Amino acid sequence: MNAFGSALSSTLRAFDAFDGSGVPSAASAPSEPPKLDPIQLVLHASIPVKLVIVVLAAFSLLCWVVIFAKAMHIGRARRDSAKFMKAFDSAGTLDNLAQQGLSNFRGSPFARIFATGYDEMVRLTEGVRGKRLDDAQGTHVESITRRAAAAEVTHLESWMSLLGTIGSTAPFIGLFGTVYGIMDAFLSIGNQQSANLPVVAPKIAEALIATAIGLVAAIPSVMAYNFFARRVGELSDVMEGFALDVAARAKLGGV
């Protein structure tokens, strides 16, 4: 009888674990594992970690603003420069090109270099067409055009240093937030005298989110900086030779 009673009790406990449909009841069903929620991690982070995240979010937003602005700037410079160089090669003389007007090439650094050299040539020759420059005047025009080319390169590189700064500092700022968050986790362990995962895991996750946001800000900045630096370098190499070409033609009277 004792054996029969034990078996009956076991059977009843097994039936209690099921509802009428034969599915395990909610009380005995395993609970779902917690899901990763970055928003909640940020909201429950400590104040220093939140400040780090705000700074990194501002860096990321500023990075994308600069990326779009520089993409438009360099893209227009390349398009207008291609059109200007075709007009420069087909104009024949510097005077013919100047008479066509440069309003259609406002985005081209080559057009501005040409305008600088041409204006200086006209000033030195007092408006006399075809007048050759002496060696000193030719050297002066060459210096003017080369300085104009250097200024155009500097203009094309504007705001690129900000991309480089964000790309190099954002990971370390995020790492600072991570280090602080892990220190806070260890302090919680000491205060509660418990190293259980429910005590440590949330604070470590809050800390690591700062590093993740730092990488989100840094990676596009570095990639964009390298891309724009290559594009500016290509234009810079051509502009140097173009400045010398304009100076040489100005020395010969603009032919």
For residue 189, is pLDDT > 80? no
**pLDDT at residue 35, as a whole number:** 61
pTM: 0.77
pLDDT band at 204 (very low <50, low <70, confident <90, very high): confident
What rounded mean pLDDT belongs to the chain? Answer: 83
pLDDT digits (tens, 9 = 90+) for 126-136: 878 878 888 89
What is the average per-residue pLDDT within 212-218? 93
Name which of 52-61, 185-194, 202-211 the model is least confident about. Answer: 185-194
More confident residue, 195 or 190: 190
Check if the beta carbon of residue 109 is closer than 8 Å to that of residue 156.
yes
- In degrees rounded to 5, what are phi and psi of residue 27? -65, -35
pLDDT digits (tens, 9 = 90+) for 1-34: 444 445 445 544 544 444 444 444 444 445 555 5
242's CB contacts (< 8 A; 6+ apart) are 110, 113, 114, 149
On the CB side of 216, CA atoms within 13 Å amount to: 16
Percentage of the chain beyond pLDDT 70 is: 80
pLDDT digits (tens, 9 = 90+) for 53-70: 899 999 999 999 999 999
Closest C-alpha to 176, from 146, 213, 147? 213
pLDDT digits (tens, 9 = 90+) for 126-176: 878 878 888 899 999 999 999 999 999 999 999 999 999 999 999 999 999
DSSP code string of the chain: -HHHHHHHHHHHHHHHTB-TTSSBPTTTSPPPPPPP-HHHHHHTS-HHHHHHHHHHHHHHHHHHHHHHHHHHHHHHHHHHHHHHHHHHHHH-SHHHHHHH-SGGGTT-HHHHHHHHHHHHHHHHHTT-TTPPP-HHHHHHHHHHHHHHHHHHHHHHTTTHHHHHHHHHHHHHHHHHHHHHHHHHHHHHHHHHT---HHHHHHHHHHHHHHHHHHHHHHHHHHHHHHHHHHHHHHHHHHHHHHHHHHHHHHHTT--
- In degrees rounded to 5, what are phi and psi of residue 194? -150, 135
**pLDDT at residue 18, as a whole number:** 43
Distance CA 48, CA 233 (A): 41
